[in-house]
A and B are shown apart, each in its own frame.
Chain A
Amino acid sequence: MSEHILETQNLTKEFKGFVAVSNVNLSVKTGHIHALIGPNGAGKSTVFNLVTRFLTATTGKILFEGRDITTTKPADIARLGMVRSFQISAVFPHMSVRENVRVALQRATGSAYHFWKSATSLNELNARADDLLEQVGLLSHADALTVELPYGRKRALELATTLALDPRLMLLDEPTQGMGHEDVGRITDLIRKVSANRTILMVEHNLSVVSRLCDRITVLQRGAVLTEGNYEQVSADPQVRAAYLGGSHAA
């Protein structure tokens, strides 16, 4: 296993002359929880979309476990073991909670194109789906229609769905965004729990979450890396205080 599970080399993305991400060299160490922080418009989500290939980089290289994935298709990235979540809760609203997780489990069974079989053949995945739901505290809601879940629970479901693929690298895009205090605490605990045996790269605005969870932090500003280090180093950096916190107010 390589020391760095994910590396980018001079990653750059231009949108019609506007440079959203410029020369980003990111190294995510295997086993770490790595945070990507920065003010709005710093390019955090763009970096996410680039490494998961939802966007194509203008120049630069992306390596996953030493393998060049700069031109790999996004669905194949997921198959390699790097699975992302989205900023807006990414669930399948008109499927039941259990079905949401099951459809993720189903991919590995190779039955995606089996249109001649009954869907009841998927019931064998129910036990595993329920296990995952229990991990995120949603087992009692397994039969509910997802659209009816409150926001925090949808995010928890999203996490369970991502975990169903057992990814080696999980990318979480603002997992606590828009959540109430209680939910933030629960999701933070959950992330710590599931981080065993895997690497997590997350975009996060909530600095108390970052300080509690993350081993290493990269600060982005206007598309470029401002600094990198652990929470103490980064939060003490006067540049970061000036750029990110506006100098005066700490989180």
Chain B
Amino acid sequence: MTKIQARNRLYLLLVAIVIGLLAPLVVYPVFLMKILCFALFACAFNLLLGFTGLLSFGHAAFFGGAAYVTGHALSVWGLPFELGILAGTLAATVMGAIVGKLAIRRQGIYFAMVTLALAQLIYFLCLQAPFTGGENGQQGIPRGFALGILDLSNNTTLYYVVLVIFSLGFGLVYRVINSPFGQVLKAVRENEPRAISLGYDTDRVKLTAFIVSSALAGLAGATKAVVFQLASLTDVHWHMSGEVVLMTLLGGVGTLIGPVVGAGVVVTLQNTLSSGPLNAYVPVVLGGIFVVCVLAFRRGIVGEIKALIKQSF
């Protein structure tokens, strides 16, 4: 990275921090938190698709699974906020290790199919298991207090806590991508047989990435459960896995902030459309956008902007 690039990146970061801090003064905090949760989810997914070259079609299992575990930990076990989030994240990590271990034996579309199949298995477990509340889901999950003192029933307070969680997750993704491990990930994505011939155990590399990604997806789901005080079948449904693919592709796969932008666009569209006359057609509109994206701007919003900037200099 050149000095100018590094400086520009610093400016961008500062602007983002200011926007993040001031946003709840202008926009409804719950809406912002929803964007942050999905943005983190999409970043986790992008770590796999964009930076490892693995298309997981079962990430809802980690997102929704973590939401259930956190919901259960907070409402039934009565754990404090932090431990509740941690429990959900850990559960997603363990699920990620198992699903990943089974799925990485296959490549390409077969990998995607195995993740989808295992995620459906988890979906039906969630439908039947007593602690998930079946069709009703878990409702009224208590938000509690962060660090024992910050009252999270206040939306603005909770927003800042969620902002911190998001920043930590986003920071981890940034670190992973720009680390020695990130270099190996890139090599595996670019040319797996060559990476093997250089002595890399690429299955283990991919599994590590898969586990980190599912843990972060879990963190996003756990946080979402606290924000909405709800964990439901929607969170583990394969629609959710599809939605995160859409967010990532729309924002720009393989770019750092693409998934954040994509999540923002999709969540905003869902919220605006569902209160208007197009209420029943939200999936149709999103589907249309997806088609246009794939046909006309394949690099996604951020990817296209990046390409434009590169061209004009």
A residues contacting B by CB (< 8 A) are 52, 54, 73-76, 78-79, 83-86, 90-95, 99, 102-104, 106-107, 109, 111-119, 121-122, 161, 165
Determine if A113 and B208 form an interchain contact, defined as CB atoms under 8 angstroms apart: yes
9-residue interface stretch from B27-35, B109-117, B125-133, B194-202: B194-202
Asked whether, in the complex, the Cβ of A106 is within 8 Å of the Cβ of B183, the reply is: yes
Shortest B310–chain A CB gap in Å is 12
Contact A75–B199 (Cβ < 8 Å): yes
Excluding A95-B186, A103-B183, A115-B180, 16 further A-B contacts by CB distance (< 8 Å) are A52-B197, A75-B200, A78-B198, A79-B199, A91-B191, A93-B191, A95-B190, A104-B198, A106-B184, A114-B179, A115-B175, A115-B182, A118-B179, A119-B178, A119-B179, A122-B180
Q: Verify if B91 is at the interface (C-beta below 8 Å from A).
A: no
B196 touches A78 (CB 8 A): yes
Is B180 a contact of A165 with CB atoms below 8 Å? no
Binary A-proximity of B185-214 (CB < 8 A = 1, otherwise 0):
011001101111111111001001000100
CB distance from A172 to the nearest CB of B (A): 12
In Å, the complex CA distance between A106 and B200 comes to 10
CA distance A113 to B178 in the complex (A): 12
The verdict on A93 contacting B199 (CB below 8 Å), with A119-B180, A122-B180 known, is no
A76 cross-chain contacts in B, Cβ below 8 A: 199
Q: A34: shortest Cβ distance to chain B, in Å?
A: 19
CA of A75 to CA of B184 in the docked complex: distance in angstroms?
14
CB distance B180 to A78 under 8 Å?
A: no
Q: List 10 A-B contacts (CB under 8 A).
A: A73-B201, A78-B199, A103-B184, A103-B195, A107-B199, A111-B180, A112-B200, A116-B175, A117-B179, A117-B180
Is B118 among interface residues, defined by CB-CB distance under 8 A? no
Q: Bound state CA distance, A134 and B13, in angstroms? A: 38
Contact of B201 among A75, A91, A92, A114 (CB under 8 A): A75
Is the Cβ of A161 less than 8 Å from the Cβ of B191? no
Assembly CA distance A78 to B212 (angstroms): 27
B124 in contact (CB, < 8 A): no
Q: Which 4 A-B pairs have the closest CB atoms?
A: A78-B199, A115-B181, A92-B190, A111-B180
**What is the predominant secondary structure among interface residues of chain B facing chain A?**
helix
Could you tell me which B residues sit within 8 Å of A by CB distance? 175-176, 178-184, 186-187, 190-191, 193-202, 205, 208, 212
Q: Which of B195, B198, B200 has the most CB of A within 10 A?
A: B198
**Contact of B194 with A92 in the complex, beta carbons under 8 Å:** yes
B197 & A103 in contact (Cβ 8 Å cutoff): no
Closest B residue to A110 by beta carbon equals B180
In the complex, the answer to whether B196 meets A112 with C-beta atoms within 8 Å is no
Q: Which residues of B contact A111 (CB under 8 A)?
A: 180-181
Residues of B within 8 A of A116 (CB): 175, 179
The answer to whether B183 touches A102, judged by C-beta atoms less than 8 angstroms apart, is yes
The minimal Cβ–Cβ distance linking A28 to chain B, given in whole angstroms, is 18
Task: Give bound CA distance, A94 to B205, whole Å.
Answer: 19
State in angstroms the CA–CA spacing of A74 and B203 once bound together: 12
Q: Is there contact, CB below 8 Å, between A75 and B212?
A: no
- Most A C-beta atoms less than 10 A away, residue of B182, B184, B194, B200: B194
Q: What's the Cα separation between A113 and B179 when bound, in Å?
A: 9
Given contacts A115-B182, A122-B180, contact A86 B175 (CB under 8 A): no
Q: Which residues of B contact A107 (CB under 8 A)?
A: 198-200
Question: Which of chain A's residues have a CB closer than 8 A to the CB of B179?
Answer: 114-119
B-chain residues with CB within 8 Å of residue A74 when the two chains form the complex: 196-197
Quote the shortest CB–CB distance from A124 to chain B (angstroms).
Answer: 11
